[in-house]
Structure 1
Amino acid sequence: MLELYQFELSQYSEKARLILDYKQLEYRKIEVTPGVGQIELMQKSGSRQVPVLKDGSTYVSDSTEIALYLERKYPERPIIPTDSLAKGQCLLIEEWADASIGLKGRKAFIGALNQNQNFRTSILPANTPDIVKTAVGAIPGELLDVLGTGVGFGGDAVKEAKKSLTQDLEALCLILQNQPYLTGDSPTLADLAVAGLSILLKFPAGSYLDIPDPLKGKGIPGLADNITFEPFFAWRDRLYADFRQGSSIPSSNSSSSSPTSINIE
């Protein structure tokens, strides 16, 4: 069976999961413990970043490389068009989504955690002691903003990320007005990448992710609850309903210690 080394809340891991589900491939999720688990992953695969796919003795890192590997090794239910124009559009959108929705979405998500106490505490595992939840919620957003500035997650950087994502979502809504998928009448890697990478903007409402129930259907204030972007999220949810499997796929931890859910990448 294929094995996917992942973080449950990593949008790049979700991109890989969605591709695996679309191709109807059976796989096992292995939750990597941030820190020690990444060292173990580095020893096995040569990469400390998730996702990493294991197929027999072959390890493939990076969500795009995983997609291309699966397309070569398991060509049934193809995700890359053969038509030259559609193929070019597909690959271009996939690369853009990695850099824009993926990276900027993560920045905006961390910004929302910093500034919204309820959102910050709701992301913690369900078994987190109340005293820890209270302590995490009590951290001033201004302090988190200052701390984030030094690593590119300060208030100004978050505002720029949300501004860019607003334009991206508007563009996606326009593209999808008159066609069912981003490059035409059939789903491709472009659709699976955009949909999977968007989970941090607004979590799917179904049982696709191992997250607390109150988080399902919720997301970044100003994006997830903006009626202008409802057509995009409705499209994303239809794609999930058609192709994404539930969270019953077996999983395990890569280390004996429990993973820290709040670490994203």
Structure 2
Amino acid sequence: MNRLFHVPLSPYSRKVRLVLAEKKIEVELVEERYWEQDPDFLRRNPAGKVPVLKYGSHTLSDSMAICEYIEEVHPTPPLMPTDALGRYEVRRLVAWFDDKFQHEVTSKLLYERVNKKVMGLGYPDSTNIKAGAKAVKYHLDYMAWLLEQRRWLAGDAMTLADFAAAAHLSCLDYISDVDWNRSETVKDWYAKIKSRPAFRSILADQISGFMPPPHYADLDF
């Protein structure tokens, strides 16, 4: 059995989970408290980060590297375009969400509201929360601008870029930090993507001490 060492509210873990589920690859989910620096986990990934995928005889780390590997060995259904420019745009947007969005939004909201408590690192920093709440509006507006020109974030087909964005937004939606009324275009996009069978296990996540809002698992919001 393939195993994914993950954290339920890690957008990087969720991105990999979405790719595996979309391609109908069965995997056992193993929750990993990576911040405890367990020696067994560090042997799997010396970087000490999730996700880590045990795939057959291979141990794979880094979410983007895992996703591209899975795409190469399981090309159907495709999550990367066939043309070089299209693949560039997907990688650009994945980096946008995994780097810029993570730094400006996810790390300011999810880390402060959830991770600090789970890891025993103290109380939320209100300055960071205010900065994250302000920044997420800019990112939602950018997504709306993209989606006004395209059916999906990177083009006319759903790609890994959509999963990267949805992974971050789903984590924030779990803690009610997304204003879905800001853009009907983005809201419609998210409704489409969270209605996919690949999203089911993510919508079923329950984190001890944190309850999601009623709309979190509602496919019609």
Q: TM-score range with shorter-chain normalisation? A: 0.7 to 0.9
Are 2:168 and 1:189 equivalent residues in the alignment?
A: no
Asked if the contact 2:51/2:61 (under 8 Å) is kept, the reply is yes
Are 2:148 and 1:177 equivalent residues in the alignment?
A: yes
Please report how far the alpha carbon of residue 88 of structure 1 lies from its aligned counterpart in structure 2 after TM superposition: 1.3
Q: Deviations over 1:194-249 (max 9, x none)?
A: 1112122213xxxxxxxxxxxxxx512xxx2451134323312311212424239x
Asked if the contact 1:106/1:200 (under 8 Å) is kept, the reply is no
Give the distance between the partners of 1:245 and 1:161, measured in 2 at CA: 25
Q: TM-score, normalised by structure 2?
A: 0.79
1:7 alignment counterpart: 7
1:43 alignment counterpart: 43
1:219 alignment counterpart: 176
How many correspondences in the alignment? 203
- Say which SS state the counterpart of residue 76 (structure 1) adopts: coil
Are 2:191 and 1:237 equivalent residues in the alignment?
A: yes
**Which is greater in Rg?**
1
- CA RMSD, aligned part only? 3.0
Give the distance between the partners of 2:13 and 2:26, measured in 1 at CA: 15
- Say which SS state the counterpart of residue 60 (structure 1) adopts: strand
1:106 alignment counterpart: 107
1:59 alignment counterpart: 59
Q: Deviations over 1:20-74 (max 9, x none)?
A: 1122211111111345574321123434211001112211111111111111222
Asked if the contact 2:5/2:50 (under 8 Å) is kept, the reply is yes
Give the distance between the partners of 1:237 and 1:244, measured in 2 at CA: 13
2:21 alignment counterpart: 21
Q: Which runs of 5+ in 2 are unaligned?
A: 211-221
What amino acid maps onto 1:67 in structure 2? C
Identity %, equivalent residues? 27
Asked if the contact 1:6/1:52 (under 8 Å) is kept, the reply is yes
Give the distance between the partners of 1:26 and 1:189, measured in 2 at CA: 19
Asked if the contact 1:101/1:198 (under 8 Å) is kept, the reply is no
Q: TM-score, normalised by structure 1?
A: 0.67
Give the distance between the partners of 2:132 and 2:23, measured in 1 at CA: 32
Asked if the contact 2:180/2:187 (under 8 Å) is kept, the reply is no
Asked if the contact 1:81/1:87 (under 8 Å) is kept, the reply is yes
Q: Which runs of 5+ in 1 are unaligned?
A: 115-119, 125-135, 137-142, 146-153, 204-217, 249-258
- For 1:241-256, list aligned pairs within 5 A: 241-247=195-201
The one of the two structures with greater contact order (alpha-carbon pairs below 8 A, sep at least 6) is 1
Asked if the contact 2:16/2:66 (under 8 Å) is kept, the reply is yes
